[in-house]
């Protein structure tokens, strides 16, 4: 991941006046993979299917190795975004919560998808965050082989470090196809994880409010 100030997309605050500090530039967040070789991935996918006794000679399956390679390349390539923040001029100090953010990722143990929703909230400090960026951060860390526990903690830690709020909370609930479609075949089961930092961990009222609003307390 590369993070750098992106001055071309800095937001100018209407309250800024001559003689005051300039608006903070947006932070450009870019995922830089080690290199995607689609041709090599397609050849490997073909060998993989062949090793499992699945012939790709038919018209229907001839393009499958290429489609597999492109599909996984897409799953592992998050879109770049600007982490735009704004001054908290009004001193807003209550919870900001984005609920039911779609999550799609791939289990690093079986390379099978897990899908669900994330609830991400924070207690603002000096700055507030553009709401769509909460979903962007979730996507950024989900687009790689993952385990749900790590994903939850990565989103929370990243927001705490870059936004410097008074507290951060993340709850993710997802269905893991490595558990529902194979092995134990626990159809309909889901896994819930949470990460609470700052006042959302230490203050009982704030913690209860966050968990109640996300449904994790029920």
Catalytic residue among 107, 140, 143, 173: 107
3-state class percentages of the chain: helix first, strand second, coil last, to nearest 5: 35, 30, 35
Tell me, yes or no, if 143 is annotated catalytic.
Answer: no
Nearest to 168 by CA among 145, 203, 199, 139: 199
Catalytic residue among 148, 154, 173, 209: 148
- When computed from its CA atoms, the radius of gyration of the chain, rounded to whole angstroms, is 21
Tell me, yes or no, if 15 is annotated catalytic.
Answer: no
Q: Are 172 and 103 in contact (CB under 8 A)?
A: yes
Tell me, yes or no, if 140 is annotated catalytic.
Answer: no
Nearest to 205 by CA among 114, 93, 120, 77: 93
Catalytic residue among 6, 119, 140, 176: 176
Catalytic residue among 31, 110, 164, 175: 110
Nearest to 165 by CA among 191, 192, 138, 134: 134
Residue 114's H or E segment, with its range, is strand 113-123
Catalytic residue among 3, 15, 108, 149: 108
Catalytic residue among 160, 164, 175, 178: 178
Catalytic residue among 3, 15, 109, 149: 109
Q: Are 148 and 117 in contact (CB under 8 A)?
A: no
Q: Are 35 and 15 in contact (CB under 8 A)?
A: no
Tell me, yes or no, if 6 is annotated catalytic.
Answer: no
Q: What is the DSSP letter of 211?
A: H
How would you classify the pairing of strands 145-146 and 96-107? parallel
Strand partners, 144: none
Catalytic site positions: 107-110, 148, 176, 178
């Amino acid at each position: 991941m590369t993070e750098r100030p992106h001055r071309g997309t800095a937001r100018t605050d209407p309250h800024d006046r001559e003689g005051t500090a300039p608006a903070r530039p947006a932070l450009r967040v870019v995922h830089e993979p080690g290199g995607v070789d689609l041709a090599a991935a397609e050849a490997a996918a073909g060998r993989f299917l062949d090793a499992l006794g699945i012939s790709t000679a038919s018209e229907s399956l001839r393009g499958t190795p290429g489609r597999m390679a492109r599909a996984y390349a897409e799953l592992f390539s998050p879109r770049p975004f600007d982490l735009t923040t704004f001054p908290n001029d009004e001193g807003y100090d209550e919870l900001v919560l984005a609920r039911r953010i779609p999550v799609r990722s791939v289990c690093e143990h079986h390379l099978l998808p897990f899908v669900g929703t994330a609830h991400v909230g924070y207690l603002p400090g000096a700055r507030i965050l553009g709401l769509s960026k909460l979903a962007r951060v979730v996507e950024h860390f989900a687009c790689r082989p993952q385990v749900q526990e790590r994903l939850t903690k990565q989103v929370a830690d990243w927001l705490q470090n870059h936004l410097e709020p008074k507290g951060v909370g993340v709850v993710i609930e997802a269905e893991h196809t490595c558990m529902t479609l194979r092995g134990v075949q626990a159809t309909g089961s889901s896994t819930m994880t949470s990460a609470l930092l700052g006042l959302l961990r230490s203050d009982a009222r704030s913690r209860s409010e966050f968990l109640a609003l996300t449904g994790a307390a029920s």
